[in-house]
Chain A
Amino acid sequence: MQQRRTIDQIHTNRVLLNGQLDTPKWWAPTVIVLGIIVAIGFFLIGIMVNKGLGVTGLSRPVYWGLFITTFVFWVGISHAGIMISAILRLSQAEWRRPVTRAAELLTVFSLLTALLFPLMHAGRPWRIIYFILPYDFARGIMPNVRSPLIWDPVAISTYLTGSTLFLYIALLPDLGNLRDRTTGWQNALYTILALGWRGNPRQWKLQTVGGILLSALMLPIFVSVHSIVSWDFAVTPAVEGWHSTIFAPYFVIGAVHSGVSAVVTMMALMRWLWKWEDFIRPEHFDALARLLIVVATGWLAFTFLELLFAVYGLDAPELELRDMQIFQWPWNLLFVTFLFTGYIIPVGMWLQKSVRNNIALMFWSSLFVNIGMWLERFMIIVPGLARKTPFVYTWEAYRPSGLEWFILFWSLAWVTFLMLLFSRFFPLVPLFEQKESQTFGDSIKIGRVRVPAIVREAD
């Protein structure tokens, strides 16, 4: 943390609460534009519910298309929060401080968005209740708890509830801070939400111990969620390319790759939009890029292992599918794009220190990753269904409709819209974490240089 400088608490409050106390000029127009996109999206979803799934490109034999791809994509992005917040908190990584809140928030909003896609995909969303909730007593039909389609909502609801509570607990000290800086209805709101927070040693101890305990509890949930999402596919023997035992860890590491990249995108935007240069520094991007190199390389290994295990058995239908995925038009173009944007271009860039410390390049490289990771999910889900199999009498390519593409982009606008709304009322950077870093920080002289040092408690 060589780039940190001493900042007093009044300045920290003024700068990091600028979204709540002094709303930036760009905020309202941006929220209005995003709000219009969001409203159009909901209108189109309404049309789809009214007209049926015929307005999408879904047709025999491809019934899982862009909506399910985007569902898996957003569940993947949601792994950002726990990766950054829990793992880095447990390992006491100092550079986590400015990014934990935004990462947790990204988890909550991306999970909320992910949950919308199976509802849309169902065509008649209200009927989902028949297979999720017990219980349609009138007809005596119970959900099949042995089905991954039940496991999925259970896991995602657990993760969403846990992440939201985790976010709230870590927000308590900052709510107390906002209560102290506001008047009128805002003060009344923050007073209620802060629950009478005062900042005595007991409350700080519980905040620290509770944060670590919740991190430790959230980690196994985080691993289980994307494992269970992967089982939606992996327990289906009838579709080549889906039935793989490696899917759980493959999906989890892919989710971490896309989630942490999304955090990089968001950090760059936060630095630019709110001018938080003193808090979100190039060294944070450098640390995240180093982490991403390791994660991305692990993910690439799983990608090739998945391919290797698939072709190792020399099973003819599986070989046909892989041939189609990698060598036949237009899948070959998607495959190459996915490989280059998901790994080769970004990791090639991150290997350069000059790139790791360049926020604009980090921003673009992180966007590349998520283009690649979305394509990865598309390449997993669709080709296996599109290929002709013995019991399928049609063989048609899937071409997503304009409505499906719009809803994909709508989901990006929707998450950004939610994040901006949150930023109007709550701080995106945890102030108490920043202040703690300053409290525990000092500078020491080594030889002829003075370097920043962080004091850390033994337990």
Chain B
Amino acid sequence: MSKSVLGLYNDPNQAADAMDALKNAGFAQGTFDVLTGTPYPEGAFGEHVPQHRLFRFPAFGAIIGFTLALFLTAATQIAYPLVTGGKPILSLFAMLVILYEMSMLSAVISTVVGIVIESRLPNVNPGVYDNRITEGLIGVVITTDDDKADTAIDALNGAGAMEIKQA
């Protein structure tokens, strides 16, 4: 069985010390995390710098949107071939507007999907948490096996945790 342990801190320095203590106690990066109510500068707690692939999402989205728009505009004009001013039926310049808008729309939607997926949301089982984190407390949370929970609690307490919660 695994257990989730949360240490709460008032001071960012203590939270950073707790992260170091967990590392020194032999816990692997990725098994513990820091929770804050506001973004802190990257690496402020000595945390593992998260990697993401968000930039791929808008590119794929734009390609899909462009392809759909090309099909939609071309098929529409071929289905109802209305010659206007002697211009070609497939008037590429006039189609550009819709190609552009649909590419951008698809890029935006896929970026939003990317943000949600890369943020590991929706998180249906968020584990141990404390509402005071959004009031300024800093939480250091670790998920570990039952038999290592005491080691984690000792590390968190050693850094000056004001409170420990378990789930």
Contact = CB atoms under 8 A, between A and B. Distances in A.
Given A145-B76, A206-B115, A440-B41, A196 B133 contact: no
A140 to B, nearest CB: 7
Contacts of B135: 9-10, 13, 180
Contact of B33 (A172, A201, A439): A201
Interface in B104-122: 104-105, 107-109, 111-112, 114-116, 118-122
Contact of A218 (B41, B84, B108): B108
Contact of B108 (A9, A221, A455): A221
A201 B115 contact: no
Contacts of B55: 213
A249 interface: no
Interface stretch (A33-41, A158-166, A340-348, A442-450): A158-166
A146 interface: yes
A42 interface: no
Contacts, number: 184
Nearest to A206: B119
B34 A200 contact: yes
A1 interface: no
A202 interface: yes
Interface string A194-232: 011111111111111110011001101100100010000
Contact of A213 (B54, B79, B102, B105): B54
B94 A145 contact: yes
A202 B80 CA distance: 50
Contact of B37 (A158, A165, A221, A432): A432
B24 interface: no
A211 B120 CA distance: 16
B108 A217 contact: yes
A181 interface: yes
Nearest to B40: A439
27 contacts: A13-B134, A142-B79, A145-B73, A146-B95, A151-B97, A158-B101, A161-B109, A165-B108, A166-B108, A180-B133, A181-B131, A195-B116, A195-B121, A195-B122, A195-B123, A198-B123, A199-B133, A199-B134, A201-B47, A204-B40, A205-B50, A206-B119, A214-B112, A214-B115, A217-B107, A432-B39, A438-B38
Given A214-B108, A218-B108, A457-B41, 9 more contacts: A145-B95, A161-B108, A180-B131, A196-B126, A205-B42, A205-B50, A205-B52, A207-B39, A214-B111
Interface of A: 8-10, 13, 134-135, 140-146, 150-151, 154-155, 157-158, 161-162, 165-166, 168-169, 172-173, 176-177, 180-181, 195-210, 213-214, 217-218, 220-221, 224, 228, 432, 435-436, 438-440, 455, 457
Interface of B: 33-42, 45, 47-50, 52, 54-55, 58, 72-73, 76-77, 79-80, 82, 84, 91, 94-95, 97-98, 100-102, 104-105, 107-109, 111-112, 114-116, 118-126, 129, 131-136
